Amino acid sequence: MKRVLVVEDNASEREALSLVLKRSGFEVTSAADGVEAVEKIQREKFDLLLVDVWMPRMNGLELLSHLPEDTRPKALVMTGDDTAETLLKSLRKKAYLFIAKPFDPKDLVQLMKTALESTPEPEQIQIVSAQPNWVELRFPCEMQTAGRIENVVDHLNSGLPPRVRRSLRLAFHELLMNAIEWGGQLDPASQAQIGYLRTHKFLMCRIADPGNGFDLAAVDHAAIANQSEDPLAASDVREEKGMRPGGYGIQLVKSLVDELVYNEAHNEVVMVKYLS
């Protein structure tokens, strides 16, 4: 049974969350603020922390700074303050995932299980820039860390209309998967990088992978390169080559964003969405 520490100053939310987690099979301890949490962490070992941000005496960001490096449990940050500043401060203090309040308890439990099933890791996400309107991150080409990167970018898109946010979430996922799966070959020793730039007029995201890129004319298994009048021609090519179904990712992204630009080698891509 995995041990979870819930750190939440609102008594009713703390009790309700503890009850949900106990019913889901977790061993749950709770704390009303960061000071109480630190005391319990010093006495007991926990597999996962659920940490609210704004609390009296010691807030969640300060608590993250007090976690022991050698036995540091993964911390999921829960907050109604879904601003880029709070997100990036939490990321600098090695928060594992971010959960915006209010949330569906079933979704929370699934996120917790995913975090607990992931392998222990050193500080894998390197922060190159953490300005609210200019974020750059470097990370290993592996699925586990890719999911965390998607979590960060999705929260950076908070405040956008829901339809725009969903479109950007899907577009970013497709490009990121291409980068780590094809460019990085799912090799944790290889590093990919994203750059996220947001202004009042546009949002731009650059993804660079460590691969050699590709020749668009040579990827006849992808819909974007297939010039046939048959929209399913790429699927036939993939079947002949023994590849899994797919090949429509880039074509899908082009329909979701306003501009999609590759560098000459096709190992870096920039997507742009105009906001006004």
Q: What percentage of the chain exceeds 70 in pLDDT?
A: 87
Count other C-beta atoms under 10 Å from residue 1's C-beta.
8
- Contact criterion met (CB below 8 Å) for 209 and 187: no
Mean pLDDT of 207-224: 73
What are the structural domains of the chain? Answer: 1-118 (3.40.50.2300), 123-276 (3.30.565.10)
The pair of three-digit structure tokens given for residue 144, joined into one six-digit string: 């586990």
User: 60, 106, 101: which is closest to 82 by C-alpha?
Assistant: 101
- pTM, full prediction: 0.84
Mean pLDDT of 231-257: 65
CB neighbour class for 233 (10 Å; exposed up to 12, middle 13-18, buried from 19) = middle
Confidence class for position 243, pLDDT limits 50, 70, 90: very low
* Rounded distance between C-alpha atoms, residue 212 and residue 258, angstroms: 26
